[in-house]
Structure 1
Amino acid sequence: MQKILAQLAAEIRIRPEQVKTAVELLDGGATVPFIARYRKEVTGGLDDIQLRELESRLGYLRELEDRRAAVIKSITEQGKMTPDLLAAIDAAPTKQELEDLYLPFKPKRRTKGMIAREAGLEPLADKLFADPRLDPHAEAQAFVLPAGAIEGADFTTIAAVLDSVRDLLSERWAEDASLVQALREWLWNEGLFKSKLADGKDENNADVSKFRDYFDYDEPIGRVPSHRALAVFRGRALEMLDAKLVLPVEPEPGKPSIAEGKIAMHLGWSHAARPSDDLIRKCVAWTWRVKLSLSTERDLFTRLREEAEKVAIKVFSDNLRDLLLAAPAGPRVVMGLDPGIRTGVKVAVVDATGKLVDTSTVYPHEPRKDWEGSLFTLAKLCEKHNVNLIAIGNGTASRETDKLAGDLIKQLARLRDGVEIQKVVVSEAGASVYSASEFASQEMPDVDVSLRGAASIARRLQDPLSELVKIDPKAIGVGQYQHDVNQSELAKTLDAVVEDCVNSVGVDLNTASVPLLTRVSGLSASVAKSVVRWRDANGVFKTRQDLLKVTGLGAKTFEQSAGFLRIRGGDNPLDMTGVHPETYPVVEQIIVKTAKPIQEIMGRSDVLKTLKPELFANDKFGAITIKDILGELEKPGRDPRPDFKVARLADGVEDIKDLKEGMTLEGTVSNVAQFGAFVDLGVHQDGLVHVSQLANKFVTDAREVVKTGDIVKVKVLEVDVARKRISLTMKLDAAPARRDGPRDNKFEGAGRDNRQRGGGGYTSPPAAGAGSAMASAFAKLQGLKK
């Protein structure tokens, strides 16, 4: 364990004692949000990002140590352990390197090399390699055996004996951990990741053409961006692309490859026209072509996929965090519109608390085209419930429904003098998943499934976090190739993001749903249900201490959860803050010091800033904790999320065909990838602001400039109606794309179709429009092979 602690300290660049304390807390059942918020003193101020990394690496290193112990035991039981081997195994830093060392000793089926050893050919192989001046045919004569001497093998001729020498040596070299690792690293740095259209596939087929950019593609494997790697792997899985690892320089026919030269160099051998040199050259070639080329390709493809998945999962988690922490509209009466054409627009009105109070369906679009009747119905609902905000789902007929809402607002403006109603287009990704969920049926048992979606759209505008936690994070649709990555790792990472977001904001104990409570530090799904049952049976919680009356919620759970649960209007004003109940005695000292009641202290920065944290520190709570308490008292119940803003979509721009080069528009960032940001302009197809067009400076990662949910101004650079691609820039002084420039088919990124529900992700990175100078510039920026 000391070894693990030391490695974690070195990797995360923190002190060993910080690691030791954090691991003890995690092992003791403490959650990351609790440790990050309420145990800063003992961990030296580790934040949630450092703790998540520590938690993840701790799991990996423990698995590594368990595997190391199993490998040592296996080799020792075989009687083959040596001091040097043991030292190498103890020093192996990764599972891959540990398995490389174990490979020669790993129980396996009977191989040709094993059979050669059984036949006693190892001395011959060692002799010929040690002294290539020996005649292999003459030396092999003594090892010829009669038929049937070795079961399953033929050693009756000199040629058969020498073939077995080749099998024996190539197998031995292919299990040389230092050679395998050297080749692997060399190819990671120099090898090419190459793909082409699979044989027999029609490149004009709609599904196949999505991978057009990879019909003739290669790039150094160690520098392939995440989205391109996953696109090729997806095409390969669908049998539309062939992918392979190729050497940086292909050998001439009949000549040894660079890889074979690397193996020979590692062995310290070179061809000098000695009698055994041709045989050894065959052994070297066999080692690469038969034993190592495919396994190395497999290992590097696995490494490329794992690294690409890490990036994709990080992109997804960053976007999810931004979406969950988006600005809430707050306690306002909202009308949710779930657009549809033939089936009509589903309407749901929720009150300021999120309670569903009314529903309807209107048919303003084809085939009924009841525009006036729809306006009449919606106006009646707005007047009846005093609606002041309209949320419009961004699916099919979204733009047309947005226009309907615009007409409704104009009509109501004449009826409500001076009262303005706002409309907002909201991502409806996952709304259908929620509508059909068990929780939705419990929450709205007598409401049609289609109308539940409209209610969800309205609520996610009031409070994105509270509503989106009811949906599987993977269904929210802010991922990059989310269906192509390790699903368990994705789920684990996204769950951690949701947990961190919920606990950073805090949860109203008296209004929170079961899904929201389940995400609170320390609360399991069963305990969350118990909390709601207690609330339904006994009324609202008046103090945090009432939590201890809930069945199944003990002292440990209370410790982990209480600080993140808020009670507004309760008996103790501190219960609406992030001050943990365990530190209430400290607040009592502050009350004594100031000689003012708590109500006169909270929110009084002029009073609180005069207090020195050191005055209230004790053996249990130091200055760091006291400083946090004073901060909470200064802004009690504060919400860390930004203020609510609304993007103003341009009138008359309802379809991609309405876009013109040079237009300046306002839109909402719907998704962010490393290579750029997707912006919803209200035309059903998101436009792409490439990373090179985000700012008048060099940007390596789009999230340095924007995040999901941001409202931005963009200029249209290029529109490809046929391929549904929109190129945008945030450099508003940028000129539109020239159409006389060279074409480059490596332009990254496509606008995500807004009509997707419950999935998200992208298709393959597409080509730019014909003659796009912008695409050529992007290709040069990325260092792509021309």
Structure 2
Amino acid sequence: MQKIIRQLAAEIKVTEQQVRAAVELLDGGATVPFIARYRKEVTNGLDDVQLRELEARLAYVRELEDRREAVLKSIAEQGKLTDALRAAIDAAPTKQELEDLYLPYKQKRRTKGQIAREAGIEPLADLLFTDPTRVPADEAQAYVKPAKGEDGSDFTTTGAVLDGVRDILSERWAEDAALVQSLREWLWNEGLLKSSKVEGKNENDPDVAKFRDYFDYDEPIGRVPSHRALAVFRGRTQEILEAKLVLPEPPEPGKPSVAEGRIALHLGWSHAGRPADDLIRKCVAWTWRVKLSLSTERDLFSRLREEAEKVAIKVFADNLRDLLLAAPAGPRVVMGLDPGIRTGVKVAVVDATGKLVDTSTVFPHEPRRDWDGSLHTLGRLCEKHGVNLIAIGNGTASRETDKLAGDLIKLLAKVDRVVEKVVVSEAGASVYSASEFASQEMPDVDVSLRGAASIARRLQDPLAELVKIDPKSIGVGQYQHDVNQSELARTLEAVVEDCVNSVGVDLNTASVPLLSRVSGLSASVAKAVVRWREANGAFANRQQLLGVTGLGAKTFELSAGFLRIRHGDNPLDMTGVHPETYPVVEKIIEKTGKPVAELMGRADMLKTLKPELFANEQFGVITVKDILGELEKPGRDPRPDFKVARFNDGVEDIKDLREGMVLEGTVSNVAQFGAFVDLGVHQDGLVHVSQLSHKFVNDAREVVKTGDIVKVKVMEVDVERKRIGLSMKLDAAPARRDGPRDNRFEGAGRHQQAGAGRRQAEAAAPSAMASAFAKLQSRSR
């Protein structure tokens, strides 16, 4: 265990004591949010990001150690475990390097090299390699067999014997861990990922055309961005693209390749015209072409996919975090509009608590075109329930429905009623509508109307509503169906847990899905909490949680600090102060002579207090500072203030866009290469990373995040391909029609890499990626 702790401390760049404390807490059942928030003293301030990394690496390293023990045991049982080999295995830092070392000892089916060794040819192989002055044909005569073996092996000629020499040497070299790792790292840095269209595929086929930027594409494999790697792998899976790893310099006809040269260099051999040198050259070539080229390609493709998936999963996680922590409109009466054309616009009104109070369906669009009747119905609902905010789903007919809401707002303004409208993402709303939980929440409501209610609630509190949906259905990912699904699910679940606990949960209003995300609360305990609430009324204090079936002292410890009770018996119960530290607050009360209700919010008084005066052996200065911070801003919400984006009138379709227009929009998705912005025209525009700021930007998230409201200039519009090029540099000039075009929408443009003379795809988003990503952003659910 000490070895694991030492390794994790080095990786995360913290002390061994911090790692040891965190591991003990995690192994004891503590959650990451609880440790990050309430055990800072124990871990010396490890935050949730460090703890999540530690948790993931701990699982990996433990699996590695288990595998290491199994490998050592297997080799020892074969009687082949030397001190040097044990030391190498003990030092292997990754699973792959461990498997490289184990490869020669792994049980496998009989190979040609093994058959040759069983036939006694290995001494000849050793002789010819160590002393190339020997004549292979002459030396092989002594190893020729008079007849075939019982197993079918045939060494009855000198040619067959020398083939056996080749098989023995190539197999031995291909299992040389140092050689394999050296070639792998060299090709990762120098090799090229090359893709081309599968012969016979029709370029005009829409499914094939999406990948046209990869019909003749190559790029250094170690520098391929995540989105391009996943695009190539998707094209290969769909049998549209062929992908292969190619050497940085193609071999000249009849001459050894660079890879073969590196193998020879590793072996310490070079061709000197000796009798056996031609045979050894053939063995080296065979080692690369037959034994190592395909396995190395497979290993590096796996590495590329794994690293690309990590980036894609991080993009999804970051966007999900931004969406969950988006500004809540708060307790306002909201009308949700779920746009539709022939089926009508579904309408749902929820009160300030999120309770569904009314529903309707209006038909302002084709075929009925009942615009005035729709306005009358919506106006009546607004007057009846005091609606002051309209949430419009961004699906089919969203822009037309947004215009309807605009006309409604103008009519209501004539009677001095102020109403605002917001277009919100409805991704996943249909998943929620058909879910078991939705049927329990709204049992007598049509499935389509449930979606409108969910859209309204998303505006009131995005976090509380979106936790009811599988995170993968929220639609803010990049190639989300191409990545490791279990790792994606694990990461997204962690994001949801962290977001819920960073905001806190109202114990008396939270739904079961929201409660089940609270630190320490399982789905069954969350249901028990709601049952207790329904049977006994609102919780008056946190201590009553101990009366809930299945909620014991440990669960209370992990969850209580994240559960809020407003207007309860104890004002501290509405804050993030944990019940275990209430005695510390009592000391503060004693020192100041003020009751807790008068202390809360009094920053002027609290800032004069010295944390050292209230610290003890159990709760140190760090914890006391957190308590004082909570008392200064009791019940604070870390989310930003609510703002509304204003879409321009007359801009309802991509055809309405003109180069040079300055518009306001909402950032709908962020990737490393840029940000997608919803302008209300059914197709998101792309602000490439180079157009986000006048300063250099490496990652778009340095400048924007999902949900931000931004002003952008239209740089280029491609109606046919549904591409919108945007810039946040409002003084930038639109693309010239008569000059060189910005090729970010024209695919993977090439430029010569200085000194290398090889083509490399530019850093901008290629059309295959953009097309696939655009599907993620499509307006239909």
Q: Shorter-chain TM-score: which interval?
A: over 0.9
> Which residue number corresponds to residue 197 of structure 1?
197
> Which residue number corresponds to residue 686 of structure 1?
684
1:428 lines up with 2:426 in the alignment? yes
Superposed CA deviations along residues 624-650 of structure 1, whole A, max 9, x for unmatched, are 000000000111000000000000000
Query: Contact 1:389–1:421 (CA<8 Å) still a contact in 2?
Result: yes
**Offset, 1:412:** 1.0
> Which residue number corresponds to residue 590 of structure 2?
592
**Offset, 1:741:** 3.5
> Which residue number corresponds to residue 605 of structure 2?
607
Distance in structure 1 (CA, Å) of the matches to 2:313 and 2:324? 16
* More displaced 10-residue stretch of structure 1: 249-258 or 504-513: 249-258
1:626 lines up with 2:603 in the alignment? no
1:474 lines up with 2:484 in the alignment? no
> Which residue number corresponds to residue 152 of structure 2?
152
Distance in structure 2 (CA, Å) of the matches to 1:232 and 1:526? 43
**Offset, 1:472:** 0.6
Superposed CA deviations along residues 703-761 of structure 1, whole A, max 9, x for unmatched, are 000000000000000000000000000000101111233454324153735873798xx
> Which residue number corresponds to residue 756 of structure 1?
778
**662, 665, 673: which one pairs with 2:663?**
665
**Offset, 1:610:** 1.1
> Which residue number corresponds to residue 641 of structure 1?
639
1:407 lines up with 2:407 in the alignment? yes
> Which residue number corresponds to residue 357 of structure 1?
357
Distance in structure 1 (CA, Å) of the matches to 2:779 and 2:688? 24
> Which residue number corresponds to residue 87 of structure 1?
87
Residue type at the aligned position of 2:765:
E
Superposed CA deviations along residues 134-190 of structure 1, whole A, max 9, x for unmatched, are 000000001011223351210111101101110111000000000000000000000
* More displaced 10-residue stretch of structure 1: 145-154 or 397-406: 145-154
Distance in structure 2 (CA, Å) of the matches to 1:166 and 1:529? 68
> Which residue number corresponds to residue 302 of structure 1?
302
Residue type at the aligned position of 1:39:
R
> Which residue number corresponds to residue 32 of structure 2?
32
1:346 lines up with 2:346 in the alignment? yes
Query: Contact 2:682–2:779 (CA<8 Å) still a contact in 1?
Result: no
Distance in structure 2 (CA, Å) of the matches to 1:501 and 1:152? 66
Distance in structure 2 (CA, Å) of the matches to 1:405 and 1:169? 77
What aligned pairs does 1:512-523 form with structure 2 within 5 A after superposition?
Answer: 512-523=510-521
**Offset, 1:420:** 1.2
TM superposition score normalised by structure 1: 0.95
What aligned pairs does 1:271-286 form with structure 2 within 5 A after superposition?
Answer: 271-286=271-286
Q: Please give the secondary structure, in 2, of the residue aligned with 1:665.
A: strand
Distance in structure 2 (CA, Å) of the matches to 1:571 and 1:152? 88
Query: Contact 1:541–1:570 (CA<8 Å) still a contact in 2?
Result: yes
Q: Please give the secondary structure, in 2, of the residue aligned with 1:726.
A: strand
> Which residue number corresponds to residue 366 of structure 1?
366
Q: Please give the secondary structure, in 2, of the residue aligned with 1:343.
A: coil
Distance in structure 2 (CA, Å) of the matches to 1:147 and 1:449? 79
What aligned pairs does 1:315-464 form with structure 2 within 5 A after superposition?
Answer: 315-415=315-415, 417=416, 419-464=417-462
**568, 577, 580: which one pairs with 1:579?**
577
Residue type at the aligned position of 2:306:
E
TM superposition score normalised by structure 2: 0.96
Q: Please give the secondary structure, in 1, of the residue aligned with 2:414.
A: helix
Residue type at the aligned position of 1:376:
H
> Which residue number corresponds to residue 258 of structure 1?
258
**Offset, 1:274:** 1.1
What aligned pairs does 1:558-569 form with structure 2 within 5 A after superposition?
Answer: 558-569=556-567
1:183 lines up with 2:178 in the alignment? no
> Which residue number corresponds to residue 771 of structure 1?
none
Distance in structure 1 (CA, Å) of the matches to 2:294 and 2:150? 30
Query: Contact 1:8–1:19 (CA<8 Å) still a contact in 2?
Result: yes
> Which residue number corresponds to residue 768 of structure 1?
none
Consecutive unaligned residues in structure 1, runs of 5 or more: 760-786
Consecutive unaligned residues in structure 2, runs of 5 or more: 749-763
Q: Flag the 1:20–1:757 CA change in 2: closer, same or farther, 3 A.
A: farther
Query: Contact 1:170–1:284 (CA<8 Å) still a contact in 2?
Result: yes
Distance in structure 1 (CA, Å) of the matches to 2:255 and 2:195? 24
Distance in structure 2 (CA, Å) of the matches to 1:310 and 1:53? 13
Distance in structure 1 (CA, Å) of the matches to 2:594 and 2:276? 96
Q: Flag the 1:753–1:150 CA change in 2: closer, same or farther, 3 A.
A: closer
> Which residue number corresponds to residue 218 of structure 2?
218
* More displaced 10-residue stretch of structure 1: 249-258 or 111-120: 249-258
> Which residue number corresponds to residue 649 of structure 2?
651
Distance in structure 2 (CA, Å) of the matches to 1:569 and 1:325? 25
Query: Contact 1:476–1:758 (CA<8 Å) still a contact in 2?
Result: no
Query: Contact 2:271–2:277 (CA<8 Å) still a contact in 1?
Result: yes
Superposed CA deviations along residues 491-523 of structure 1, whole A, max 9, x for unmatched, are 000000000000000000000000000100000
1:711 lines up with 2:709 in the alignment? yes
Query: Contact 1:718–1:728 (CA<8 Å) still a contact in 2?
Result: yes
Distance in structure 2 (CA, Å) of the matches to 1:465 and 1:550? 25
Distance in structure 1 (CA, Å) of the matches to 2:104 and 2:36? 45
> Which residue number corresponds to residue 739 of structure 2?
741
1:117 lines up with 2:113 in the alignment? no
Structure 1 outlier segments of 4+, above 6 Å? none
Distance in structure 2 (CA, Å) of the matches to 1:633 and 1:703? 32
Distance in structure 1 (CA, Å) of the matches to 2:147 and 2:449? 81
**Offset, 1:273:** 1.4
**Offset, 1:261:** 0.5
Distance in structure 2 (CA, Å) of the matches to 1:615 and 1:345? 62
> Which residue number corresponds to residue 247 of structure 1?
247
Superposed CA deviations along residues 386-415 of structure 1, whole A, max 9, x for unmatched, are 100000000110000000000011111112
Query: Contact 1:188–1:300 (CA<8 Å) still a contact in 2?
Result: yes
Q: Please give the secondary structure, in 2, of the residue aligned with 1:752.
A: helix
Query: Contact 2:393–2:425 (CA<8 Å) still a contact in 1?
Result: yes
Distance in structure 2 (CA, Å) of the matches to 1:654 and 1:494? 34
**Offset, 1:344:** 0.6
Distance in structure 2 (CA, Å) of the matches to 1:456 and 1:722? 34
Query: Contact 1:431–1:758 (CA<8 Å) still a contact in 2?
Result: no
**Offset, 1:606:** 1.2
Q: Please give the secondary structure, in 1, of the residue aligned with 2:721.
A: coil
What aligned pairs does 1:770-785 form with structure 2 within 5 A after superposition?
Answer: none
Query: Contact 1:348–1:356 (CA<8 Å) still a contact in 2?
Result: yes
Query: Contact 1:198–1:239 (CA<8 Å) still a contact in 2?
Result: yes
1:700 lines up with 2:698 in the alignment? yes
Query: Contact 2:395–2:780 (CA<8 Å) still a contact in 1?
Result: no
Superposed CA deviations along residues 229-277 of structure 1, whole A, max 9, x for unmatched, are 0000000000010000000011122221110011011001111111111
